[in-house]
Protein backbone atom coordinates (compact mmCIF):
# COMPACT_ATOMS: atom_id res chain seq x y z
CA UNK A 1 0.00 0.00 0.00
CA UNK A 2 1.38 3.41 -0.97
CA UNK A 3 2.07 5.94 1.78
CA UNK A 4 0.19 9.21 1.36
CA UNK A 5 2.51 12.22 1.11
CA UNK A 6 1.32 15.20 3.13
CA UNK A 7 1.35 18.81 1.96
CA UNK A 8 4.07 19.66 4.48
CA UNK A 9 6.28 16.85 3.20
CA UNK A 10 5.65 17.99 -0.36
CA UNK A 11 6.73 21.56 0.43
CA UNK A 12 9.91 20.29 2.08
CA UNK A 13 10.69 18.14 -0.95
CA UNK A 14 10.07 21.10 -3.28
CA UNK A 15 12.56 23.22 -1.33
CA UNK A 16 15.12 20.42 -1.42
CA UNK A 17 14.62 19.81 -5.13
CA UNK A 18 14.88 23.52 -5.99
CA UNK A 19 18.03 23.89 -3.88
CA UNK A 20 19.57 20.84 -5.53
CA UNK A 21 18.73 22.17 -9.01
CA UNK A 22 20.26 25.56 -8.22
CA UNK A 23 23.51 24.11 -6.90
CA UNK A 24 23.82 21.47 -9.61
CA UNK A 25 23.00 23.78 -12.51
CA UNK A 26 25.14 26.63 -11.19
CA UNK A 27 28.14 24.37 -10.67
CA UNK A 28 27.79 22.49 -13.94
CA UNK A 29 27.07 25.47 -16.18
CA UNK A 30 29.77 27.62 -14.58
CA UNK A 31 32.33 24.87 -14.96
CA UNK A 32 31.29 24.15 -18.55
CA UNK A 33 31.54 27.79 -19.61
CA UNK A 34 34.88 28.26 -17.84
CA UNK A 35 36.15 25.06 -19.45
CA UNK A 36 35.18 26.44 -22.85
CA UNK A 37 37.10 29.65 -22.13
CA UNK A 38 40.16 27.66 -21.07
CA UNK A 39 40.07 25.50 -24.20
CA UNK A 40 39.53 28.56 -26.40
CA UNK A 41 42.51 30.26 -24.80
CA UNK A 42 44.65 27.12 -25.04
CA UNK A 43 43.75 25.81 -28.50
CA UNK A 44 42.55 29.03 -30.20
CA UNK A 45 39.77 26.95 -31.74
CA UNK A 46 36.17 28.17 -31.70
CA UNK A 47 34.93 24.56 -31.84
CA UNK A 48 36.56 23.81 -28.49
CA UNK A 49 34.46 26.55 -26.86
CA UNK A 50 31.24 24.80 -27.91
CA UNK A 51 32.14 21.25 -26.91
CA UNK A 52 29.39 21.10 -24.30
CA UNK A 53 26.78 22.27 -26.81
CA UNK A 54 27.78 19.38 -29.09
CA UNK A 55 28.33 16.59 -26.58
CA UNK A 56 25.28 17.04 -24.31
CA UNK A 57 22.58 16.78 -27.02
CA UNK A 58 24.40 13.91 -28.73
CA UNK A 59 24.76 11.90 -25.51
CA UNK A 60 21.14 12.66 -24.61
CA UNK A 61 19.93 11.37 -27.97
CA UNK A 62 22.00 8.17 -27.82
CA UNK A 63 21.02 7.33 -24.24
CA UNK A 64 17.26 7.85 -24.49
CA UNK A 65 16.38 4.15 -24.71
CA UNK A 66 19.18 2.65 -22.54
CA UNK A 67 18.66 5.11 -19.69
CA UNK A 68 14.88 4.74 -19.92
CA UNK A 69 15.16 0.97 -19.54
CA UNK A 70 17.65 1.39 -16.68
CA UNK A 71 15.37 3.77 -14.79
CA UNK A 72 12.40 1.44 -15.25
CA UNK A 73 14.19 -1.52 -13.64
CA UNK A 74 16.43 0.05 -10.98
CA UNK A 75 15.71 2.03 -7.78
CA UNK A 76 15.57 5.73 -8.58
CA UNK A 77 17.37 6.78 -5.40
CA UNK A 78 20.37 4.56 -6.09
CA UNK A 79 20.57 5.75 -9.70
CA UNK A 80 20.55 9.42 -8.69
CA UNK A 81 23.16 8.94 -5.95
CA UNK A 82 25.35 6.78 -8.19
CA UNK A 83 25.25 9.22 -11.10
CA UNK A 84 26.05 12.17 -8.82
CA UNK A 85 28.99 10.28 -7.32
CA UNK A 86 30.30 9.36 -10.77
CA UNK A 87 30.07 13.02 -11.84
CA UNK A 88 32.01 14.18 -8.78
CA UNK A 89 34.70 11.56 -9.43
CA UNK A 90 34.93 12.71 -13.07
CA UNK A 91 35.49 16.31 -11.98
CA UNK A 92 38.11 15.27 -9.42
CA UNK A 93 39.93 13.07 -11.94
CA UNK A 94 39.92 15.88 -14.49
CA UNK A 95 41.39 18.30 -11.94
CA UNK A 96 44.17 15.82 -11.16
CA UNK A 97 45.04 14.96 -14.76
CA UNK A 98 44.73 18.28 -16.60
CA UNK A 99 48.06 19.75 -15.35
CA UNK A 100 49.97 16.68 -16.56
CA UNK A 101 48.47 15.96 -19.98
CA UNK A 102 49.34 17.77 -23.19
CA UNK A 103 45.96 17.02 -24.84
CA UNK A 104 43.40 19.19 -23.01
CA UNK A 105 40.82 18.76 -25.79
CA UNK A 106 40.73 14.96 -25.54
CA UNK A 107 40.54 15.04 -21.76
CA UNK A 108 37.74 17.61 -21.89
CA UNK A 109 35.75 15.51 -24.37
CA UNK A 110 36.06 12.43 -22.16
CA UNK A 111 35.10 14.34 -19.01
CA UNK A 112 32.14 16.11 -20.63
CA UNK A 113 30.89 12.79 -22.05
CA UNK A 114 30.97 11.17 -18.60
CA UNK A 115 29.25 14.15 -16.99
CA UNK A 116 26.62 14.25 -19.76
CA UNK A 117 25.86 10.55 -19.17
CA UNK A 118 25.56 11.15 -15.42
CA UNK A 119 23.27 14.15 -15.94
CA UNK A 120 21.06 12.13 -18.29
CA UNK A 121 20.65 9.37 -15.70
CA UNK A 122 20.02 11.88 -12.90
CA UNK A 123 17.43 13.88 -14.85
CA UNK A 124 15.54 10.82 -16.09
CA UNK A 125 15.51 9.13 -12.69
CA UNK A 126 14.40 12.33 -10.96
CA UNK A 127 11.58 12.86 -13.46
CA UNK A 128 10.40 9.30 -12.93
CA UNK A 129 10.54 9.72 -9.14
CA UNK A 130 8.49 12.92 -8.94
CA UNK A 131 5.38 11.08 -7.72
CA UNK A 132 7.48 9.58 -4.94
CA UNK A 133 8.57 13.04 -3.76
CA UNK A 134 5.36 15.10 -3.68
CA UNK A 135 1.64 14.47 -3.77
CA UNK A 136 -0.25 14.97 -7.06
CA UNK A 137 -1.43 18.46 -6.07
CA UNK A 138 2.18 19.74 -5.88
CA UNK A 139 3.64 18.17 -9.04
CA UNK A 140 2.96 21.24 -11.21
CA UNK A 141 4.35 23.52 -8.50
CA UNK A 142 7.53 21.48 -8.32
CA UNK A 143 7.96 21.55 -12.10
CA UNK A 144 7.35 25.31 -12.29
CA UNK A 145 9.81 26.16 -9.52
CA UNK A 146 12.47 23.88 -11.00
CA UNK A 147 12.10 25.43 -14.45
CA UNK A 148 12.30 28.96 -13.04
CA UNK A 149 15.37 28.14 -10.94
CA UNK A 150 17.19 26.46 -13.83
CA UNK A 151 16.37 29.27 -16.28
CA UNK A 152 17.64 31.91 -13.83
CA UNK A 153 20.88 30.05 -13.14
CA UNK A 154 21.50 29.50 -16.85
CA UNK A 155 21.40 33.27 -17.33
CA UNK A 156 23.72 34.02 -14.42
CA UNK A 157 26.26 31.19 -14.69
CA UNK A 158 28.11 32.45 -17.84
CA UNK A 159 28.69 35.81 -16.17
CA UNK A 160 30.03 34.14 -13.03
CA UNK A 161 32.21 31.77 -15.06
CA UNK A 162 33.72 34.59 -17.16
CA UNK A 163 34.43 36.70 -14.07
CA UNK A 164 36.01 33.81 -12.16
CA UNK A 165 38.08 32.68 -15.13
CA UNK A 166 39.39 36.19 -15.86
CA UNK A 167 40.23 36.61 -12.18
CA UNK A 168 42.00 33.25 -12.07
CA UNK A 169 44.07 34.08 -15.16
CA UNK A 170 44.96 37.43 -13.60
CA UNK A 171 46.20 35.80 -10.40
CA UNK A 172 48.02 33.10 -12.35
CA UNK A 173 49.89 35.63 -14.46
CA UNK A 174 50.68 37.77 -11.43
CA UNK A 175 52.17 34.74 -9.70
CA UNK A 176 54.20 33.95 -12.80
CA UNK A 177 55.41 37.52 -13.33
CA UNK A 178 55.77 38.50 -9.69
CA UNK A 179 54.83 42.16 -10.31
CA UNK A 180 53.00 43.80 -7.43
CA UNK A 181 51.62 46.58 -9.66
CA UNK A 182 48.84 44.25 -10.84
CA UNK A 183 47.14 44.33 -7.44
CA UNK A 184 44.45 46.80 -6.41
CA UNK A 185 42.82 48.84 -9.16
CA UNK A 186 45.35 47.80 -11.79
CA UNK A 187 44.60 44.16 -11.03
CA UNK A 188 40.87 44.71 -11.68
CA UNK A 189 41.57 46.44 -14.97
CA UNK A 190 43.89 43.62 -15.96
CA UNK A 191 41.21 41.03 -15.22
CA UNK A 192 38.71 42.80 -17.48
CA UNK A 193 41.27 43.23 -20.24
CA UNK A 194 42.10 39.52 -20.01
CA UNK A 195 38.44 38.60 -20.36
CA UNK A 196 38.01 40.79 -23.43
CA UNK A 197 41.16 39.43 -25.02
CA UNK A 198 39.83 35.85 -24.74
CA UNK A 199 36.50 36.82 -26.28
CA UNK A 200 38.27 38.52 -29.18
CA UNK A 201 40.43 35.55 -30.14
Is residue 170 within 8 A of residue 190, CB to CB? The reply is: yes
The verdict on pTM exceeding 0.75 is no
The per-residue pLDDT for range 146-189, each reduced to its tens digit, is: 888 888 888 898 898 888 888 776 665 555 444 444 333 344 44
The per-residue pLDDT for range 77-99, each reduced to its tens digit, is: 899 999 999 989 998 998 898 88
- The three-class DSSP label of residue 98 is coil
Residue count of the chain, please give it. Answer: 201
Give, rounded to a whole angstrom, the gap between the first and last alpha carbons of the chain: 62
Buried b (16+ CB within 10 A) or exposed e, 139-171: eeebeebbeebbeebeeebbeebbebbbbebbe
* CA dist list (Å): 42 to 39, 86, 92, 101, 178: 5, 27, 21, 13, 22
Residue 36 CA to residue 14 CA, distance in Å, equals 32
Amino acid sequence: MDTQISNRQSVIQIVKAASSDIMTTLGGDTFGFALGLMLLHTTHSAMSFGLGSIIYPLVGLLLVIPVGNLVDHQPHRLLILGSKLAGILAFALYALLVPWLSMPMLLAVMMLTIVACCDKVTTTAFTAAVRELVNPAHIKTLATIEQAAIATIQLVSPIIAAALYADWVCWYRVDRIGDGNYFGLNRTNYAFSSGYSFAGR
